[in-house]
Amino acid sequence: MGFIRSVPLMGIVLIVYNMINLGYFGARGAVWKTRQLESTLPSGELIGLNFSEIFIAIALIALIIELTKAATASTSAMTEQTFSTISFVGFLVQFLVDPYAATPTFFILLMISLIDVLAGAILLVKIARRDLLFGQ
């Protein structure tokens, strides 16, 4: 269970993004612009979400879960932070090198991954400081 808890969700987001771009779920990259959800708001306006917007929302949910995991003091916190950093480096390298990753959607996912790494590091330091103060 500890290893599964250490797996970074943003790494899974990166893998799924690449699977979509490689054509595992249809034409290569064409799925991003397809409208997946349409609804009429109480104001009468029609709202439509593309797959890329839904994917960003899923990544934000993954970020919340990652931050919740980082906020708990555990022995695997350093491992989780290392995996999150590796995941961010994967996002960054792919953004800089892969032409299919040069999209606004991927840039937002890159920023979400950066927030995950920075917030995880800040929480790790705060928890360590609190534990040191509590031990005195």
Rounded to 5, what percent of the chain is helix, strand, coil?
Answer: 70, 10, 20
Query: What integer pLDDT is reported at residue 61 of this predicted model?
Result: 95
What is the tens place of the pLDDT at every residue in 16-70? 999 888 877 666 767 778 888 899 989 989 999 998 999 999 999 999 998 888 7
If one compares 75 and 55, the residue with the highest pLDDT of the two is 55
Structural domain harbouring 107:
2-135
Mean pLDDT score of the chain, rounded to an integer? 85
Query: What integer pLDDT is reported at residue 132 of this predicted model?
Result: 60
Averaged over 87-112, what is the pLDDT? 94
Instruction: Give pTM, 2 decimals.
Output: 0.84
Say whether pLDDT at 77 is over 80: no
Q: Which two tokens stand for residue 12?
A: 């899974």
- The total of structural domains in the chain comes to 1
Contacts of 29 (CB under 8 A, 6+ apart): 20, 21, 23, 100
Query: Can you state the angle between helices 51-70 and 104-135, rounded to 10 degrees?
Result: 10
DSSP character for 42?
A: T
